[in-house]
Structure 1
Amino acid sequence: MKFKYIFSSALIFAAMTTGCIDKFSDINTDPSVVDKADVRFLFTKALADFEPSKYQQWYYNNNRYTMPWSQALVAQDGNLPEMNEVAEWEGQTSQLYNVMSSTEEIIYLVSKVYDAETASKYQHIQALCAPLKVYMGMFATDMYGSTPYTEAFKARYTYPPLLKPKYDTMEELFNTWLGELDNSLNTLQTVDAKSQIQLNNQDFIYKGNITKWAKMINSLKLKIAVRMLHVDKPRALKIAEEVMANQAGVMTTHEDDFIYNKGSEDYHFWDDIRFGAGSKNLIDFLVENKDPRVRFFFQKNDFNSKVVQAFFDVNKKLPSYIDEKVEFEVVDGKKVFKGWKAPGEPWVRYHGAPVSVEARFDQAIKDNYFTPDSFKITIGGVTKQYMPMALYNQEMIQGGETYVFPDAPNVPATEDNLKCAWFGLFMSSAEVNLYLAELKLLGANLPGTAQEYFTAGIKESVTVMDKMAASNKVPYYSSVYDDNEATIKLKSGEIDNLLDNEAYQLTGSAADQLEKVYIQQYVHLLSSPTDMFATVRRSGIPMRNSKYLAWEEFRGSDYLLPRRFPVNRPDLSDIMADISSAAYEAQGYTMGDKEAATLNTERVWFDFGAPNFGEGPNF
């Protein structure tokens, strides 16, 4: 009886004091403690974590694998026979989950925590979570396939905590993403912006401009559509038609582009990367057509007129492809640099290397491209080595790089050590227009012609890449070091002249036209290697025996390349081991297998039915 009395008294006391306790809790909260995050700041955090191009991604995945496999880059020492073997590589799902850490909190706060009146003011911000997740989702899965998504990051919001999320298949993911983008668009189009909390500068991409966000979201559906062409072509074409019918519109000019800059002191990353040189076929294609983008994607080689003269002074042989571009005269028995032959500066400074894995074992080729001593001279007791090929332009990737202007060995170094903020390009009107050209050629009922989309894609690509080079303060952009060289910035009339070239016009057979579109996608996406590799797999471009941009055999047609990255066998201590293993097996993957033959045939879902490397389009 005594216990019952005490218990009853306690209940009465609790009932009487609950309100007091709640009020005391509110009053006695430390004002410095934030118990509910500001949704605007969470969105900024999601943007700050939106990073599909961090250091490890460039060091391993891009520079070592996808770009050489795509025949865009060649190792500075020449490609090795084992270049098709995957050693170390960087996973790509962590970048997605870094973004979801903030977006899922936003969604939870707005949909579950805030009262109805407060939540109604954050509908636009909640809607803007979708494009960040979808873009990063494609990045995460392009090289791996299935991944946890719909049940990911639910542990903190569920009871009991959902600690073992299911893997969504790539087909399921595409459906989910299309639905999320549609819902996002609907919210932006039906909820009055005046009723919404504004992001303004908390959104460092579009400054809260909902019209531009809507265009980007609608355009992002095309990125999904082109990946579906080999597995569900009718639906892919229908998606394109729906996109063009949507009142949101699409990204049409570089003013709509998703240009990424966190702030004045964000240099992207500091660690150096030994970037490869452009492939000979790619550089030759760009230079022969006088495509200005070669000057933005690639760095001038070291052989300016000062270095050429230094080689003359010590009677050192120049690489043949440089020597044939030099005008000289003989004065007192010595060669004196006189000028550059056609096409002149800056074009004569861009040379690529052969991609064949056997090239470095041919002594003549090796000495011309890959033997360091061939490019090394000594003057005044000072020895210096020079790079004859055009390397991938590191200053387009890093804002804190120091560039040393090439000169004779005994001349004190002049440096460009300007530290500038990094600007990256992740989604663009050029990409969108080139997808529309592809989809139009493949049968989509779109309002414009394939030629119109194609021309717009090229114009916008050149324009925005020039803009990126200017923003990143790339050496030689608007000033020169050597009196005999030219700046690299876009010149008046260059785009019009470029469009006069056959490879830049949709003429010829249907197959020719499609190849031309894919070549332009390939070139434009040189700054987004994961997307570029997706295009290479989808299209079979570069193509063997092409009269525009030909695929060069690495070592014969039996030399296989991976089409995805390996998946490791999960550790038995991992609580997700069974789920992960089942997901890999369902995709037909051999866990732990890094062999090129395995990674070539065991493909991600959207890659089924796509042409083999070098075969060209197979629609």
Structure 2
Amino acid sequence: MKSHKLLLAALAFGSALMTTGCRDDFSEMNQDPSAVTTGNISFLFAEAVNRFDPQPYLEYYYNAPMKYAWAGMGLSTSGASESILTLTIDGDQARQYISVLRVLRAMEAEYEKLSDEDKALNDVYMSAANIMSIYMGIFATDMYGAIPYVEACNAAYGGSLTPGFDSVESLYNLWLEQLNSSISTFTSSEAVMKADQDVVYGGDKAKWAKFANSLKLRIAVRLLSQNEAKAKQIASEVESASCGYLNSLDEDVRFHKGDVRLTGDQGYVNDRIYHWSNGFTGCAGTESVINFMVDNRDPRVRFFYKKNYWNSKIVQGYYDAGLAIPDFIEKDVVYEVGADGKKDFVRWGGPGEPWVRYHGITEAWMASTDNTGKYKWFFPSSYPNADKELYLHNSDGGNATGYTVYSTLNQMMIIGRQYTSASEVSTATLPDDTYTYTTNDRPWYGMYLSAAEVNLYLAEFAMLNGDENKAKTHYDRALSFSVQSYDALAEANQVTYYSTVQGSFGYDPNEGAIDLKDGEIDEMMSHDAYAFTGTAQEKLEKIYLQEMIHFTLYPNEVYVTARRSGYPSYNSTILPRAQYSEVPATSIPRRFPTGAITDDDLSGDVKRAAYAEQGLTVTSSGLYNTVLASERLWQDNGAPQWGAGR
């Protein structure tokens, strides 16, 4: 959870090691030997962390709307339509694992040149880099199944330019062995891992061992449909391991890569510090999910999603203009009617601020094209009378301004940047108003594995083993950790409306801070939908639902959890999934396209053979229905259909 300047030092190696192309062949996984620079292993490790980005810009910008919709946990801001099935990109960004693997190969080459004594001093860095590479590899196999890994990125060191594919099963076995080896290294090596060369854990080898041990659970849950016995064995080994697992807030894998924005042609560095600056996807929480969280007073709704734009000033602006406001907003407004017959905002009613500012987008089918006015507040551009009824204007009758009624993903939890407009920090102003907002640089903190996630997995395995008492212990602990972790992450990321953020909170005198407050976790857990009660099946469902809620900011983990569990269920009495006859479960993709194979692809034959062995049709983004919905990756075989539950 620390930040250091080593990221900048690593650039000397990164510029030589990390040039990548966009061609759809394996040249991107290998290098010309003349381009390889000799480097200090600890510096190369820093570059591996620097390149570690499992869900970068393209994942959120293109894939996130699809993954949330396919999982039944979110929607694009265009609403529910047949576009749910549309693939906008082949998803090659999942091959981001290559970036870290390439650095690992350079480290391995340098490591082999060392004396035994020097190897002993550097084995901890090798193990840590290997963990980062495995983490990235799991993500890639989630989307594509078999990938080139064992032979990949080795051409510069005498390996093949056309590396073979490794099956998911073989990679899981390999990675489990490597994680065990890393644990052994961290717990037995006397080497010192320098604090200023480790932005992840500040050189704490004990925490690295727990990270490695805990990461095994991500493999275990993905094995459940293929080899439940082995999955349970892995979970048991994780829980009983002497090194321990992530089980406290200060053990979360949560860190940022730097603090100082560089000027000039330094996009490479700045994208590591701020995650990216290209923009953000339009993803919104659904009415079902956000209502579920608000009704059960889940504080995480305030960290995952942005407040809508309907603060008390906007409400009063509509009242002053003599315009109606949405019923679902006005139900929580306490107002008085003046002598002029107009309403005056008095205070928020209902659950009060900030809860009243979180609403999901409608899940109604094709609501975005409805021109009757039924869904006008969600899609005002489709409503013929929007200018007169839905928009406010300035004193000159211009500057027509609409205000989003639903909550989108909180981009400030996913990217950092220097903000230059009020809209970027999720504030709302009347057409004649101006607003002074913070313009301070805001480096990004990411969370990649947490004590909450680990305890949710252990709760899941406890239920599958029939031990409900143990499951409850892990479940209760996981939810408490989850809320606290995201509260800390929101503060670190200087999210708007967090009380410690200067220049954004306090704009509206009726605004409520989003900080976690005393007693809120206990209140959340007192609600039936969150309490670990009910039948064994209901308890297991609650675990899966909480896994997906915990993963709200991580579209791939939401997608994978829904795919392997069958939740949210269409028939749930806790959090039912929206069902559309136009988009049956059998038409929703279960994998991403392989990408087209061109005639000049050096590894074309290798790819075709690998896909054929997995029973996968070579697909581009245009083939998404029958092929991607019916052909499953190895780890997905035997998993429930979408919405069927386990």
Is the TM-score greater than 0.5?
yes
Aligned twin of 1:379? 394
Q: Deviations over 1:61-106 (max 9, x none)?
A: 11x3112222332222323322202132431343211101111221
Q: Identify the range of structure 1 (252-261 vs 479-488) with the bigger mean alpha-carbon deviation.
A: 479-488
- What CA distance in whole angstroms lies between the structure 2 residues aligned with 1:270 and 1:145? 30
Separation in 2, partners of 1:526, 1:128:
27
Per-residue CA deviation, residues 150-197 of structure 1 (Å, 9 max, x unaligned), is: 111221222xx4212110011111111111111111222222x2xx24
Other-structure match for 2:574: 548
Pick closer, same or farther for the CA change 1:616–1:365 going to 2, 3 Å: farther
Displacement after TM superposition at 1:518 (Å)? 0.5
2-side partners of 1:97 and 1:289: how far apart? 42
User: Does the 8 Å CA contact 2:482/2:550 hold for their aligned counterparts?
Assistant: yes
What residue in structure 1 maps to residue 558 of structure 2? 532
Distance of aligned partners of 1:468 and 1:83 in 2 relative to their CA distance in 1, 3 Å threshold: same
**Secondary structure in structure 2 of the residue aligned to 1:517:** helix
**1-structure distance, mates of 2:148, 2:528:** 46
CA 1:323/1:227 → structure 2, altered by over 3 Å: closer, same or farther?
same
Q: 2:498 aligned to 465, 477, 488, which one?
A: 477
Higher gyration radius (CA): 1
Question: Gaps (5+ residues) in structure 1?
Answer: 1-32
Aligned to 1:88: 89
> Which residue in 1 is equivalent to 2:14?
none
Corresponding residue SS for 1:206: coil
Alignment counterpart, residue 219 of structure 2, candidates 212, 221, 224: 224
Of 444, 449, 454, the match for 2:470: 449
1:258 to 253, 259, 264: 253
Q: Which residue in the other structure is 1:148 paired with?
A: 148
Say if 1:365 and 1:145 are closer, same or farther in 2 by CA, change over 3 A.
Answer: farther
Match of 1:604 among 607, 630, 633: 633
Return the alpha-carbon distance in structure 2 between the equivalents of residues 458 and 243 of structure 1.
20
Structure 1 residue 282, shift from structure 2 partner: 0.3
Q: Secondary structure at the match of 1:571?
A: coil
Q: Distance in 1 between matches of 2:166 and 2:173?
A: 10
Match of 2:310 among 300, 303, 306: 303
**1:240 and 2:235 equivalent?**
yes
Equivalent residues in 2 for 1:41-60, closer than 5 Å: 41-60=43-62
Question: Secondary structure of the residue that 1:259 maps to in structure 2?
Answer: strand
CA distance in 1, matches of 2:194, 2:580: 50
Deviations 1:384-432 (CA, angstroms, capped at 9, x unpaired): 1211111111111121143262132111233333321100111111000
Q: Is the 8 A contact 1:92 1:139 kept in 2?
A: no
Tell me what 2:24 maps to: none
User: Where does residue 290 of structure 1 map in the other structure?
Assistant: 297
Aligned to 2:168: 170
* Cα gap change, 1:153 to 1:340, in 2 (>3 Å): same
**1:306 Cα offset (Å):** 0.4
- Deviation at 1:34? 11
Distance 2:583 2:54 in 1: 33
Correspondent of 1:573 among 596, 600, 606: 600
Residue 523 of structure 2 aligns with an amino acid whose one-letter code is N
Decide whether aligned partners of structure 1 residues 123 and 251 sit closer, same or farther in structure 2, where only a CA change above 3 A counts. Answer: same
Q: In 1, distance between residues paired with 2:331 and 2:447?
A: 36
Deviations 1:557-607 (A, max 9, x none): 636211111112311211211010111111111112522221111111111
TM superposition shift of 1:496: 1.2
Distance 2:233 2:161 in 1: 37
Q: Which moved more, 1:546-555 or 1:69-78?
A: 69-78
CA 586–35 in structure 1, closer or farther in 2 if over 3 Å, else same? closer
CA drift at 1:357: 3.4
Q: Is the 8 A contact 1:358 1:555 kept in 2?
A: no
- Structure 1 partner of 2:541: 515
Indicate conservation of the 8 Å contact 1:375/1:385, yes or no: yes
2:467 equivalent to 1:431: no
Supply the distance in 1 between the matched residues of 2:588 and 2:117 (Cα, whole angstroms): 56
Within 5 Å, which residues of 2 pair with 1:37-76? 37-62=39-64, 64-76=65-77
- 1:246-302 Cα offsets, whole Å, 9 max, x none, are 111000011101113001132211122242221110000000001000000000001
Q: CA deviation at 1:358?
A: 2.6
Alignment root-mean-square deviation, CA: 1.9
CA distance in 2, matches of 1:82, 1:115: 58
| Partner in structure 1 of residue 368 of structure 2 | 360
Q: Is the 8 A contact 2:82 2:583 kept in 1?
A: no
Secondary structure in structure 2 of the residue aligned to 1:337: strand
TM-score, with structure 1 as normaliser: 0.90
One-letter code of the match for 1:189?
T
**SS of 2:217 mapped into structure 1:** helix
Within the candidate set 410, 416, 424, 1:399 is matched to 416
User: C-alpha displacement at 1:445, in angstroms?
Assistant: 7.7
Shift of 1:53: 2.1
Query: Using the alignment, how far apart are the partners of 2:374 and 2:205 within structure 1?
Result: 55
User: For 1:463, which of 474, 479, 484 is the aligned residue?
Assistant: 484
Matched, 1:199 2:194: yes
Task: Find the counterpart in structure 2 of residue 349 from structure 1.
Answer: 357
In structure 1, which of residues 564, 577, 584 is the aligned counterpart of residue 591 of structure 2? Answer: 564
- Matched residue SS, 1:426: strand
How many angstroms apart in 1 are the aligned matches of 2:616 and 2:128?
A: 34
Aligned match for 1:370, one of 356, 375, 379? 379
| CA apart distance, 1:311 | 0.6
Deviates more, 1:172-181 or 1:437-446: 437-446
CA distance in 2, matches of 1:414, 1:72: 35
- Mapped to 1, the partners of 2:635 and 2:37 lie a distance apart of 43
- Distance of 2:486 and 2:581 partners within structure 1: 34
Deviation at 1:480, TM superposition (A): 2.7
CA distance, structure 2, for counterparts of residue 144 and residue 579 of structure 1? 15
Tell me what 1:9 maps to. none
Paired-residue identity, %: 35
Corresponding position of 1:413: 435
Once the 2 structures are TM-superposed, how far is the Cα of residue 444 of structure 1 from its aligned partner?
Answer: 7.7
Q: Which runs of 5+ in 2 are unaligned?
A: 1-34, 261-272, 500-504
DSSP-derived class of the 1:121 partner: helix
Distance 1:274 1:186, change over 3 A: closer
Does the residue aligned with 2:374 lie in a helix, a strand or coil? helix
Distance apart, 1:549 and its partner CA:
1.2
Is the 1:566–1:599 Cα contact (8 Å) retained in structure 2? yes
Give the distance between the partners of 1:415 and 1:605, measured in 2 at CA: 50
The alignment partner of 2:143 has SS state of coil
2:495 alignment partner, SS class: coil
Alignment-derived partner of residue 98 in structure 2: 97
Q: TM-score, normalised by structure 2?
A: 0.86
The amino acid of 1:215's aligned partner reads K
Change (3 A) 1:89 1:366: farther
Pick closer, same or farther for the CA change 1:481–1:89 going to 2, 3 Å.
farther
574 and 589 in structure 1: CA distance in 2 versus 1, 3 angstrom threshold: same
Count of aligned pairs: 577
Residues in 2 aligned to 1:118 and 1:507: alpha-carbon distance in whole angstroms: 55
- Counterpart position of 2:644: 615
Check the 8 A contact 2:94/2:143 in 1, yes or no. Answer: no
Instruction: Indicate if the aligned counterparts of 1:278 and 1:298 stay in contact, CA closer than 8 A.
Output: yes
Aligned to 2:122: 122
